[in-house]
Amino acid sequence: MAAGQPAITLDTAEVAAIDNHTFPNGCHMAEVEIDPETGITTVVRYIVCDDFGTTVNPLIVRGQVAGGVAQGLGQAILEHTVFDPDSGQLLSGSFMDYALPRAGDLPDIEVDLLEIPCATNPLGVKGAGEAAAVGSPPALINAIIDALSVDGITSIDMPATSERVWRALAAA
């Protein structure tokens, strides 16, 4: 506000009736290799094919997908919150003992964007915000289970840390 000018208050409201919701569609595919001696899982290849409708800025959407895959990889393989069973004290409360995904944990993430415009809004867009973070944990866990199935392992809890994978292999 300029000196001597009266203050102006701006108020606005908008009500939008949404008759039909829209949802993105996609498919996540993960290829992993597991070292049987250590239980370390390496993601060799990761491919995402998503339909977000009309993509206004594909570069930003691809980055958002890559970030969501990284977040999902952390949930599926690395991040493990540990509490002391007697006191309830958090034992993994710092980055010294809580594993987050880093660049070396991720392969190049191949992202293919399909653009089938949505018919329920004027822009033809669909949501993209959570798609990769939702699709990546099951894709990664299913790839791990597929790799472990030759040893008779049919399930593993998240996070599939190297210790958890190693223990499953040792028990098999």
Domains of the chain: 25-171 (3.30.365.10)
- Residues 92 and 161: beta-carbon distance below 8 Å: no
| 130 has catalytic annotation | yes
Q: What is the pLDDT of residue 88?
A: 95
- pTM of this structure: 0.83
pLDDT tens-digit profile of 54-107? 999 999 999 999 999 999 999 999 998 999 999 999 998 888 888 899 999 999
- Residues 61 and 129: beta-carbon distance below 8 Å: no
d(CA 52, CA 54): 6
Average pLDDT of span 146-171: 96
Which of 31, 79, 110, 130 is catalytic? The answer is 130
